[in-house]
Amino acid sequence: MPNRAQIQHELSASAQQNNGVPDHDSVRRRHMARVHLLTGRPVILYYSNWTGSGQISDKAPIRLDDIHGFMGAVQDLDGSDLDLILHTPGGDPNTVETIVNYLRHKFDGELRAFVPLAAMSAGTMLALACDQIFMAAHSRLGPIDPQVLQPLGNQLARAPASAALRQFERAREDIIKNPGAASAWEPILDKYGTFLLDQSRAAQALSQELVELWLIKWMLNGHLSQTGTHGPRNLRDRLSSRQKNWTARRKASEIAAWFASYDKHHSHGRGIGRDLARAQGVVISDLEKSQAIQDAVLSVHHTLMLTFEVSQVVKVIENHLGDSYFA
């Protein structure tokens, strides 16, 4: 299995041929090509610099302008299947919806997500929109409970939407039990405004509904009944088909609700490992299942981590052909 020291040695070797400057791009692209040769599928990586020390750049989260990077990466790719290598803190769920719709329009076969380290929040949503996810023993997904801007002193800070809803509910219960408590709650509720309540409810519904829809359409589609154009021919088949569809849709709803539950996870940054995700019904394969693919994927990961450490690059979107987008 490759480690950082081995990749650093490879970068040092490239520096000897490049006037003392390590050629991160060529090393990364060589390993991306290895992934493609091993899987036989087009490959796109989506990587952000967010796990290192220091303040996270506002370019690191998933943003609408990322779609330009995906468009450039997709342009020269052939085939109906696609592999994504993901490392992201998350970001805008609306942008994830745009990315998913775009990729599914361009690739009508199987989408697989590889998570060498972490795809959190909206990054988890992107992974759950694939047909299966490959994770190592140390890899992590994260809760998808939405974060909204809430007042914190004289500033706005991101906090769980469920926390805002819970505070409104506490206020409602207190005032019902003791109308005199309204005067104590009034300055707090005035500070929040009813718009935050509506925004929090909408944000919660969006994340959960999108993931549920994607699970039904793709990851859990094999658990839905495929009956052909004329449907089941007899009552037993019809009942079996109905039960199968109902079970898959219920499972999709349960998975989406579990990932979206702040009460379950208690922290938006909590890591969800592959065993826990698999126990919920998420289709996950062990990255270690193929030593060669694991080595190639982790080589890409280590190269990018080292690139982030020595450059101002915050985000890379790139395909196995070397078509790249940097931010």
Strand partners, 44: 84, 319
Dihedral in degrees, nearest 10, Cα atoms 172, 176, 182, 186:
10
133 within 8 A of 218, measured Cβ to Cβ: no
134 within 8 A of 115, measured Cβ to Cβ: yes
pLDDT at residue number 197: 73
Q: Is the model's pLDDT at 20 over the cut of 90?
A: no
pLDDT at residue number 232: 55
What's the CA gap between 310 and 2, in Å, rounded? 20
| Structural domains of the chain sorted by starting position, each given as residue range(s) with its CATH number in brackets | 4-142+271-326 (3.90.226), 144-267 (no CATH)
Residues 6 or more apart in contact with residue 162 via CB below 8 angstroms: 145, 200, 204, 262, 263
What pLDDT, in 10s, does the model give residues 121-175? Answer: 999 999 999 999 999 999 999 999 987 776 666 666 677 777 777 777 787 788 8
Strand partners, 134: 114, 285
Name the average pLDDT for the chain. 89
Kindly state the percentage of the chain with pLDDT values over 70. 90
Sheet holding 82-87, edge to edge: 284-286, 132-135, 111-115, 82-87, 43-48, 315-319, 324-326
What's the CA gap between 82 and 130, in Å, rounded? 9
pLDDT confidence of 16, banded at 50, 70, 90?
confident
Lowest mean pLDDT among 8-17, 19-28, 107-116, 298-307: 8-17
What's the CA gap between 256 and 28, in Å, rounded? 34
Dihedral in degrees, nearest 10, Cα atoms 314, 325, 124, 284:
-120
261 within 8 A of 221, measured Cβ to Cβ: no
Tell me the average pLDDT across 103-112.
97
Beta strand ranges found along the chain (DSSP E) = 43-48, 82-87, 111-115, 118-119, 132-135, 140-141, 147-152, 155-160, 284-286, 315-319, 324-326
Q: Is the model's pLDDT at 195 over the cut of 80?
A: no
What pLDDT, in 10s, does the model give residues 175-193? Answer: 888 888 888 888 777 766 6
pLDDT confidence of 241, banded at 50, 70, 90?
low
Query: Rounded to the nearest 5 degrees, what angle is found at the Cα of 271, between the Cα atoms of 199 and 293?
Result: 120
In terms of C-beta density within 10 A (0-12 exposed, 13-18 middle, 19 or more buried), how is residue 301 classed? buried
In terms of Cα–Cα distance, which of 326, 254, 289, 270 is closest to 114? 289
Tell me the average pLDDT across 303-327.
96
What pLDDT, in 10s, does the model give residues 46-97? Answer: 999 999 878 899 999 999 999 999 999 999 999 999 999 999 999 999 999 9
29 within 8 A of 297, measured Cβ to Cβ: no
pLDDT confidence of 201, banded at 50, 70, 90?
confident
Can you tell me which residue has the tokens 């999108």?
Answer: 210
Handedness of CA 184, 187, 191, 197 (dihedral sign): positive
pLDDT at residue number 229: 46
